[in-house]
Amino acid sequence: MDKRIVVTRTVPESAVEVLREAGAVHVCSQDGPLSVPELHDAVRGAHAIVTMLHDRVDAELVAAAGPQLQVVANVAVGYDNIDVPAVTERGVTVTNTPGVLVDATADLAFGLLLMVTRRLGEGERLLRAREPWTFHLGFMLGTGLQGKTLGIVGLGDIGQAVARRARAFGMNIAYTGRRRAPVEVETELDARHLPLEELLRTADVVSLHCPLTEQTRHLIDAAALSAMKPTAFLVNTSRGPVVDEKALAEALHEGRIAGAALDVFEHEPAVEPALLELDNVAIAPHLGSATVETRTAMAELAARNVAAVLRGAEPITPVG
């Protein structure tokens, strides 16, 4: 009897083909995330589940699937949607998709940074509104990056990739995190390790690349924003709840920081309404990994993880 594999939302066909070699595949084709009852109903009898970042994976989902469940493969590098201890203690393997989205996410982070510092979104909105304009030396001035300091919170693979792009723009690199980066990384990037408080106080741009944990939830709150320079910018391409969006909107409205660029949101897909009213905010709908090549590679890696576990091999990228 074929093992049952449930995919909670459509994925590229190349990933489905990998899964078909491992079992009978059921792809949920609805246009939107499944509700918790719908998700639990969909996974009943599954030996493997391919999940998305909006799917809550916990003990209740494992119980709904049944004792035959072997693996949950999350199509994301982050896994804050998964209660990993609750799932793994029930003998279920959890995997994610690190590595394959590093460059795409770094490109997007730097694109958002340019968008907010050079007022590109604001300028496009002006033209699309057919507002009159004319060139002059004081028109829609932005902020240059050369010689400025990029403060990176979380110098992992994506943080390092952003730092390399920043170095090409002539920026200086500072970083903070739970542990120091290897000496060779610090040397390559000429990066200074700072405590968070000093990084916030001195950086011209603060870019977030940390995972969402209980320690990083609302890491950037009203106090952190008040510590930043009034000329500084915040970029978030990590997870939305790392930033207190209401506090951010207030800081931006009051001019306590110069601008923000966000690809992720605290209550995604909802966005704090006050942010949408501000011209000094650049926003994108979670596009960090959104290239054909990257999203395909993510889905295929998740599928290969499923196939490995179902045939009794070690997963390629296990969590925990």
Catalytic residue among 26, 54, 167, 286, which? 286
Q: What pLDDT digit, counting tens, does each position of 131-140 carry? A: 999 999 999 9
Q: E strand or H helix at 102, and its extent?
A: helix 102-117
Helix (H, G, I), strand (E, B) or coil at 69: coil
Distances (CA, A) of 162 to 9, 96, 110, 121, 208: 30, 21, 7, 21, 10
Per DSSP bridges, beta strands 48-51 and 24-27 are unpaired
Is 268 among the catalytic positions? Answer: yes
DSSP E strand boundaries for the chain: 4-7, 24-27, 48-51, 71-74, 93-95, 149-153, 172-176, 191-193, 205-208, 233-236, 259-262, 281-283
Residue 1 confidence class, pLDDT cut points 50, 70, 90: low
Question: How many C-alpha atoms does 184 have within 13 Å on its Cβ side?
Answer: 0
Segment 39-54 shows an average pLDDT of 97
pLDDT for the residue numbered 266: 97
The answer to whether residue 290 scores a pLDDT higher than 80 is yes
pLDDT for the residue numbered 14: 98
Mean pLDDT lowest for which of 1-5, 44-48, 269-273?
A: 1-5
Q: What is the mean pLDDT of the chain?
A: 97
The answer to whether residue 142 scores a pLDDT higher than 80 is yes
pLDDT for the residue numbered 210: 96
Is 209 among the catalytic positions? Answer: no
User: Is the separation of the CB atoms in 87 and 242 below 8 Å?
Assistant: no
Q: How many CB atoms lie within 10 A of CB 147?
A: 10
pLDDT for the residue numbered 31: 85
Q: What pLDDT digit, counting tens, does each position of 233-268 carry? A: 999 999 999 999 999 999 999 999 999 999 999 999
Segment 168-172 shows an average pLDDT of 98
Catalytic residue among 239, 256, 295, 304, which? 239
**Long-range contact pairs involving 276-279 (C-beta distance under 8 Å, separation at least 24):** 278/249, 278/252, 278/253, 279/119, 279/122, 279/125
pLDDT for the residue numbered 194: 98
Q: What pLDDT digit, counting tens, does each position of 212-222 carry? A: 999 999 999 99
Segment 141-169 shows an average pLDDT of 98
Residue 191 confidence class, pLDDT cut points 50, 70, 90: very high
Which domains, and CATH codes, for the chain? 4-98+292-310 (3.40.50.720), 102-283 (3.40.50.720)
Is 239 among the catalytic positions? Answer: yes
Distances (CA, A) of 275 to 31, 42, 278: 27, 36, 6
Segment 191-198 shows an average pLDDT of 98
pTM for this model (two decimals): 0.93
Catalytic residue among 60, 198, 250, 268, which? 268
pLDDT for the residue numbered 292: 98
Task: Give the C-alpha separation, 189 to 208, whole Å.
Answer: 17
How much of the chain exceeds pLDDT 70, in percent?
100
